[in-house]
Amino acid sequence: MLFTATFQATLALGALLGGVVVDRTSASTVMTWGGAVAVLMALVVWGHGVRGSERT
């Protein structure tokens, strides 16, 4: 129950923050930053996988 409430509160805060950012900038700016963060995270995951395979 607590995990679900925490998850929902985090989603609500993310939506609120996202709405504030869109109000202050533009939707295309948010989409560009979101794409950049997604690429960065993909590189982090890929890099972790490459280093993880070297250990075996």
pLDDT, tens digit (0-9, with 9 covering 90-100), for 10-56: 999 989 998 898 899 998 998 998 899 999 999 999 998 877 666 55
Question: What pLDDT, on a 0 to 100 scale, did the predictor assign at position 55?
Answer: 57
DSSP 3-state assignment of 8? Answer: helix
DSSP 3-state assignment of 45? Answer: helix
Per the structure block, which two tokens stand in for 56? Answer: 């075996």
Q: Which of 40, 19, 39 is nearest to 30 (CA)?
A: 19
User: CB-based contacts of 21: which residues, under 8 Å, 6+ apart?
Assistant: 30
Domain positions in the chain are 25-56
- The model scores a pTM over 0.75: no
